[in-house]
A and B are shown apart, each in its own frame.
Chain A
């Protein structure tokens, strides 16, 4: 368990993997897993101009 860096809500790891992006269950901020042991999250990278499919 860790906390959302934006709203301090509790965020559980469950089966999330390194690099996974998911919304904070409370504030909806996109978060990225940057550590699994210990579990750590940071705001997900912002969409850049050349991002796409």
Chain B
């Protein structure tokens, strides 16, 4: 029963994931407060919304950062917490944290100017992967195979005025099978997993990768949960690759999509997210 408990959902657009979250909350008797991230305003004194917990489903890292901070200010817990959004939403900070916690992750070098980025790429060696520090779905990622390519890509990135493009995140290209692994972690459990297979070197489901159920082994569970806890825990999708040296974690996503994962595994991920959010809201 809801006991007047209200579950907020902060969103940009309503995809199947958000519809499933609305339905899961309502089927448990909890009214949903829908918060459109393009409409809401935040005062300093009191919240403009009446919710006991807010599930962040905004696709915008910037909106997620500020909104979760505002909710924390009002004493409304969020899934995920602002520190988790801040850390996991930024590849530089996530990589630092994964390394600090001894979690295997691809070799990474960070640079803060195009000149230093060229040095970083040469330090990693060819082929290298250049990624934006913020954002995903495989956008604006580049596989760099030679110095000539590196110089051209860096010239293009320099022409983009955004400060995001003045941070250069360079990672080794991991020779892997034509697939990567995604494990969905809720709290302290890995609840579902899938392979994402693609002929493109980027295996994001958003880029049309095909998916297949991934059985969660003890090794996967342990590594995924450790990676999720390293960034502060909550609802997180941990992306891994099979490198010649074993599994490496390359991303921990704080606002994960789960349409493909739900379809391929049959696991009620939205239900688990809602149950977890209610638990967080009642703490």
Contacts and interface: CB of A to CB of B under 8 A. Distances in A.
Contacts, number: 65
Contact of A19 (B34, B134, B237): B34
Given A19-B34, A20-B19, A45-B38, A52 B14 contact: no
A47 B11 CA distance: 14
A52 B13 contact: no
Interface footprint category on A:
10 to 19
The binding surface of chain A is classed by DSSP as loop
A52 B34 contact: no
Majority SS of interface residues in chain B?
loop
Contacts of B19: 17, 20
A22 to B, nearest CB: 9
B162 A51 contact: no
A18 B34 contact: yes
Contact of B162 (A17, A45, A49): A49
Contacts of B134: 49-50, 52
B15 interface: yes
B97 interface: no
A8 B55 CA distance: 36
Interface of B: 11-15, 18-19, 22, 34, 36, 38, 59-62, 89, 132, 134-137, 139-140, 162, 164, 237, 253-257
